[in-house]
Each structure stands twice: as structure tokens, then as C-alpha cells.
Amino acid sequence: MSIRMFLFLFISFWPIEYAFCQQHQLTDKQYFDNDFTDVIQPTPTINYWIDNNHFVWTKNNKSYSVDIHTAKESTYSPVNPPLNKPLNIVHLKNNNLYLEQAGGEQQLTFDNEKESNPTISPDGNMVAYTKNNDLYFIHLSNKREMRLTTDGSDVILNGYASWVYMEEILGRASNYRSFWWSPDSRYLVFFRSDDSNVPVFSITDANIREGYVENIHYPKVGDPNPTVRIGIVDIQTHKLIWADFNEKDDQYFGEVVWKPNGHLLVPWMNRKQNELNVFEINPESGNKKLFYKETSNTWIDLKKDNRLTFSNNGNECLLLSNKDGWESLFLLDKSGNIKNRITPDNLHVSKILVFDEDKRIVLFTGRTKENSTRIQLFSIGLDGRQLHTLTDTRYHHTNINISPNGSTFITTFENHSTPSKIAIVKKGEKPVEIFNSLISEKNNLPLAQTTIFRIKSRDEQFDLPVRVLWPINMVRGEKYPVMLSIYGGPKRNDVMDDYILNGEQQWYAREGMIQVVADHRGSSHFGREGNDQLYHQLGKWELADYTDVINWLIANGQANPSKIAIKGFSYGGYLSAYALTYGAETFTHGLAGGSVIDWKLYDSHYTERYMGTERDNFEGYRQSSVLTHTSNYKGMLQIAHGVIDENVHLQNSLQLVSDLQEKRKDFEMMFYGESRHGIRGNKGFHFQNLKNEFIYRYLLEKPLEQKLRK
């Protein structure tokens, strides 16, 4: 029996009395405050191992030591911090730096100029930071501030990243920091970014009488990028040298990695983003040599955690790469040459946990192609033999911590029908459960039914993962509105077999709405085989796969074809707007927040990775633009955007609004002043109310339940 036929029978003929009838309802506190604390307790956070027999977890904001043999917990106040954590702590207060010590705090800077990103050296004796776009450090023994660069300005940024580097390469968690200590605390490496030729985009708001203007050096598609030099400061001599790169080349640099031999590795990428060179730099001279090279017919991700992991002796290195189709591990020698492939095809490696060069094994988390919605712990020999799955494959394992000697691990696990649990797993023994977030089995909630399944794409190349929360008390033959919630985009996946308990979702199930999450072929479930199909044609295949999911629900899941809604923010906003235009034959309603409307309006690094430049891919840009397809629009779209969104600029939604007005199309819109890429605070509550109003008006066709108002 095919999976399509099986699921049709599963959903259509499952006894209504068993599947959907509920004798009780949730409380208002559960529905509208999302408060399930009388039934589900918060899952502890595993912090670190004290030794091979004890670990620390945090429960209800308190730390406890747990004995792995008895599972007994004791109140824990660490005398010393965990391994590899500095003893000193530095924080910012009133634009100055303060050192936290046992006897209180001590002020380190006194000029009231704003310091950014104070970062303690690995030996705990120094702190580096930036100020007015120059790089500084203080040795905590003498409290003397040392200035390492002197040319910082509005366009010259030393150790403080240019916007596109922060957003797309170093990540928002970097908070613009672009400097790094060497493991021995001798060197500081930093990016010197020059924004002189990067176009300025002006963001305006009306929150003050004179108006507000903010200027950002923001490279859109085809624009000049910031030029970057890599500086290396010897902390002992204060000597500054520059790594041997030509700053005028059209290039990108990734975050540096240190080798055990004291050299640093710098990922380099061409503007087209289909060639990656990792160069080894001598910090004493700045000279470089090629360590590793990779090319692609489509693109390579510059930002990648765990790309290179060295053995303690530095003689070998693990490479994480999808160059052969999946995120796989390869073994390199100390010069960067591939010795052998370690993990098999169709196994997606997520994170390396243990690299034991003595025992010749590696422990890592990952997921198989066949079970791609659940992460497991695996072990494998460095020669690629003896692959073992160490966790229970019936569950998705969200947090795994391995003891220092590797004999025991702790796993936090769940699936869509099982709330989070924690177990201790010792080598050769059965797992011992030490925590269950479900307070009492007698308190089973009358929840709507969740199912996770797969359907075939229209070209039968991919089995698309789908998660559905079904309406309570479904009646055979009755049609129900659909809400598809998405983000989408290359390598993103939203369907995992995890436990989700949300009062608002349960309320809408009670109100009779089919709530859907689905992943397309370009998600990480399918490796490069699916990813590469998105190259130079964003939107097309994502929407094709989402449409196939909707058509299946119409044919087999009692979905109402006149009430097919889609909602998302950012890339999800783009796909929602695209669905109401390019996909208007299927999608009738949409909620698009913070949306990219035309890829020519987004930043260089992200967009060109997938779309190339407009000169090289004119038709791809034309077809992927929402504006190209607005003549097809016939449903109802809600457009929302933050006025000072510095990431996806308001001009995107303004251009869509103008185009729809010219075509005399009806739509709804809401703009939020003083809001960026994410609408928060009271405006965030307003935004949530706005979306609920839309759902009630068009999908449920009745007044908004006032209890839903935030």
C-alpha cells in the first residue's frame, strides 16, 4: 500500500469517536495565557559535568548537582566555574566596563564612551573590546587601557563588523564583534572593514517632530561590499601585521579558527560564493598558504559551525561538508588533505560532540534521510566503519551531553505525542529516566490530534514532511479552513518530531481550523539534491511543494479550498505574498510580515548566494519577484512591516502596496513605527491581535473571541 493511500485511509476512516471527540476542554488560563504548569513542568537545562559521576542542571532558576548513579540531586553553588570558563567576569554599565570579583565590582574605564563586546582572553587575564570603531584591551593586573588601532571612523571599523557581515556571516549573536583571541591569549585577530564604497540606505520614522533618519551602509544585490583586511596584534609587543590578502578583491572572509600549532585558519570565498578556500596564516608574518579548497556548481555556505575540528595533537582534522550531497564528516591530515570519508551518504551530521583520536572514534548528533525529523546520537570509527546509533530512534533528542570520559551521556528527548524527558545512559546499560515533564499521567489533556507524515511531491522526487494539528470534533464530510505556517528558504526545516503545546493553537483547533507546517525540497531534509533545485529560482519550488501539500489536504483531509491561508515573517512573509500572487489559484488568504518582495531589494551576500546577480540571472529575479505576479492576485493579503526594519527594508512592502493600488486590488496593511525586523512590546501584542482578527474575519467568519486579545 502506498503512503498516500495509507494516509488517506488513516485520516478518512479513523473512528471519529476515538480520534476527535473530546469530553473536556482546556481552561481559559491554558488557552489564553498558555499556562500548562499544573500539567507540564519546565524541563531542566543541563549545564555541565562536574566530573564523570556528577553533572549540574538548572531547575526553576536554581542549580543542582545530580549523581548519575542514584539520580539524587543536591543544591549546588560552584566554587569554581566549569572547565574553559574564565575566572573573571566583565560587564558593561553606564557605558563603562566593570570587573566582577568576589568582593564586588571594580570600574575599568572612565571616559563614558560606549564600549562594545568586552571579551575575556582564554587565560582570564585580559579583556578586549571596541570603542568608537577602534580595538582596545586592558590587562586586568594593572587596569591600563591599551588602544590597538587608531583609524576608526564612521566607515573604518576595527573589530566591529560591517552590517552585512554581522547579519549574514558572523551572525546576530556576534553583536557585531569581529575580533578573536588566540587560545594562548597572545594574539588578537580582527577584521578591519571599510564601508567607504558601500551604498548608504536611509531609514526614516516619524516618532519625533523633526523626523528620525538612520543611515546604514547596506549593500544590495550587485552593490560594492565592504573591503576587509585581517589584522593580527601581538599582545606582548603590540605589533600589528596584516594577513596576506588583497583587500581590493571582491571577496568574503569567514570567522577564523585556530590550529593547535598556533596558526590560524581563515575561510575565504569569492563573490559568487561557489569557491571556498581555507588559508593557513602564520600570525608572526601574516603569510598564507592554502589548507583546504572546495568548489560547487551552485553555492557553498561560508558560515558553518564545526566545519573544521582538530585533534588535540593537531595531526588530524574533521571536516564537515555537504560537497558530496549531505552534511558529512571527512578525515583530513594536518596539511588539509582528505584521508577518507567517515560518515555514509544520506546521514546528515548536525554537531560533533567527541573527537577521540586515541580510540579512533567520533561521536556526533545527526539524522538519517529516512528519519530526518528526529536527531540521534551516533558513534563511528574514523575509518568510516562501525556506525552505531546510541539513542532511542522513537524520539527526537534535543540536548545531549557526554561525560568527560565518554562512558555516560544525558539526553533530553521527546516526540510529537510525548512531552520532554531526560535520561542517563551508561555504556552497556539500559537508559534510566530521571525527569518527566508530564507531572502526572492522570492529567492527560484533551488535546487536538497531531500527526506527522509525508506526501510525494508532484514530480515524485521527494517525500515532503508535513505536521498537522487537526480540528477537535471533526465531522466527516465537513470542510475546514487551513492555516499553513511557514518560513521556507534554502536549508531551513520546520517539521521536527518534537512536542509542541500551545494554547492558541489548541484554541484554533477547537474553533475548527486545520493548522499545518510543511517542509519543501530545499529544506535540510533532502541534502543538496533538494537544495540545488532552488538555485537561481527562489520561490518556485517552495511554493510548488506547499501547493502539493494543500492539494493533498483538500483531497484527503477535509480542507476547504475556498479558505486556504498561509502566514509567515521575513522569508516566510515573502512566500506568503508570493503564494497570493504566483500561487493565487490555490492560496486564498495570506499574512505577510517583514517580507522581501523583490530580491533586488535585499542584501548582497544572502541573495547572491542563491540568485546570483541580476546581470547573470535576469529572468530568475523577474520570476521570483512578487511584483511580477500581482495581476494574478484575487484573495486577501494582510501586509505588515516595521517602519525602521534595517534588515528587510520597508520599501519592500511599500512597493507591493503601491503596485496593488495601481491595479486596484483590495488588501490590508499595518505599519509599525519604531519597530525593526521583529515587532515587539505592545506593538507586538497589537500585531498578534491583528492576525487573530484576520483569521476570524476571513477564515472562521465570525467576531473575534475577545479572550484572544492580548
- Measured CA to CA, the distance from residue 30 to residue 502 in angstroms comes to 8
> Could you tell me if residue 220 is inside a domain?
no
Predicted pLDDT at 710: 87
Examine residue 423 and state whether it is found in any structural domain, yes or no.
Answer: no
Encode pLDDT of 525-574 as tens digits: 999 999 999 999 999 999 999 999 999 999 999 999 999 999 999 999 99
Q: Tell me the three state secondary structure of residue 291.
A: strand
Q: Summarize pLDDT for 93-115 with one digit per residue, the tens.
A: 988 999 987 778 899 999 989 99
Per residue in 482-526, pLDDT (tens digit) is 999 999 999 999 999 999 999 999 999 999 999 999 999 999 999
Q: Is residue 627 part of a domain?
A: yes
120 pLDDT higher than 80: yes
Statement: residue 209 has pLDDT above 90: yes
Contact 86, 120 (CB under 8 A): yes
Per-residue pLDDT reduced to its tens digit, 150-208: 999 999 999 999 999 999 999 999 999 999 999 999 999 999 999 999 999 999 999 99
691: nearest Cα among 508, 561, 543, 547: 508
Question: Would residue 634 count as lying in a domain?
Answer: yes
Q: What percent of the chain has pLDDT over 90?
A: 90
User: 3-class SS at 191?
Assistant: strand
Average pLDDT over residues 10-27: 47
What is the chain's mean pLDDT, rounded? 93
From the number of C-beta atoms within 10 Å of its C-beta (0-12, 13-18, 19+), residue 359 rates as exposed
Q: What is the pLDDT of residue 21?
A: 41
CA dihedral 470, 476, 480, 483 (to 10 degrees): 30
* Confidence label for 9 from pLDDT (cuts 50, 70 and 90): very low
Range of the domain at 620: 3-35+445-708
Other Cβ atoms less than 10 A from the Cβ of 152: the count is 19
Instruction: Report how far Cα 584 is from the mean position of its chain's Cα atoms.
Output: 29
| Mean pLDDT value across residues 306-313 | 94
Q: How far apart (Å, rounded) are the C-alpha atoms in residues 68 and 43?
A: 18
pLDDT of residue 307: 96
pLDDT at 12 over 50: no
Residue 181, in any domain of the structure:
no
pLDDT of residue 25: 83
Give the per-residue pLDDT at 356. 95
What pLDDT was estimated at residue 10? 36
- State the Cα–Cα distance between residues 647 and 398, nearest whole angstrom: 30
- What is the amino acid identity at position 597? I
pLDDT at site 557:
96
233 touches 240 (CB < 8 A): yes
Number of domains in the chain: 1
What's the pLDDT band for 15 if we cut at 50, 70, 90?
A: very low
Q: What is the pLDDT of residues 455-493, one digit of tens each?
A: 999 999 999 999 999 999 999 999 999 999 999 999 999
pLDDT tens per residue across span 274-284: 999 999 999 99
Query: For the range 697-706, what are the long-range contacts, defined as Cβ-Cβ under 8 Å and sequence gap of 24 or more?
Result: 698/563, 698/565, 698/589, 698/636, 699/481, 699/483, 699/513, 699/563, 699/565, 699/589, 700/481, 700/511, 700/512, 700/513, 705/507, 705/511
User: DSSP label at 303?
Assistant: -
Task: Establish if 679 belongs to a structural domain.
Answer: yes
DSSP one-letter string for 48-115: EEEETTEEEEEETTEEEEEETTT--EEE---SSPPTT--S-EEEEETTEEEEEETTEEEE---S-PPE
CATH number at residue 501: 3.40.50.1820
Q: Is residue 462 part of a domain?
A: yes
Q: Rounded distance, CA 162 to CA 191, Å? A: 9
Q: Which three cell numbers stand for residue 560?
A: 476547504
> Which residue, chain included where needed, has cell 598556533?
262
Instruction: Supply the DSSP string of 443-479, one letter for each residue.
Output: G---PPPEEEEEEE-TTSS-EEEEEEEPPTT--TT--
263: CB partners within 8 A, 6+ apart: 280, 281, 282, 283
| Of 120, 50, 58, nearest in space to 82 by CA | 50
pLDDT at residue 24, rounded to an integer = 64
What is the C-alpha separation between 299 and 534, in angstroms, rounded?
A: 11
- Check residue 87 and give its pLDDT: 60
* pLDDT the model gives residue 428: 87
- In tens, the pLDDT along 648-685 reads 999 999 999 999 999 999 999 999 999 999 999 999 99
What confidence tens digit (pLDDT) does each residue in 420-462 have? 999 999 988 999 999 999 987 656 788 999 999 999 999 999 9
- Residue at 671 is within a domain: yes
